[in-house]
Amino acid sequence: MNEIIWVGDGKEIDLAKITRIYPAAMIVAGGERASVSLEWAEMKANQITLETYVLICDFDPVGEVPVNRVELRYQTKEELFHAMQEIAQKLQN
């Protein structure tokens, strides 16, 4: 498979080369920024500031520290889930 998906900010992603893909929330807590699981962000919603939702695509071999990474940002969880659904449909074809 050599499927390319185009992203709104001009990034392109070759789905065949992704080694890990996962959703996350970009948060600010205690003055630090971090990406965390969606579940953790919801659980700690009253203690953090949610900046944005992120779909993280890694291209490095599993087990290695991810250096080649694309982060796609979404304003709402619904937009994030929609993007995940589109990618899943492309992978099924």
Q: What is the pTM of this model?
A: 0.83
**Domain locations in the chain?**
4-92
Note the pLDDT of residue 29: 85
92: pLDDT strictly greater than 60: yes
Instruction: Report residue 67: phi and psi, to 5°.
Output: -110, -40
In tens, the pLDDT along 65-87 reads 989 998 999 999 999 999 898 88
In tens, the pLDDT along 13-46 reads 888 889 999 999 999 988 899 999 999 999 999 9
Note the pLDDT of residue 1: 47
Q: Could you tell me the two tokens for 44?
A: 């700690």
The CA-atom distances, in angstroms, between 93 and each of 3, 6, 9, 30, 89 are 10, 17, 25, 44, 7
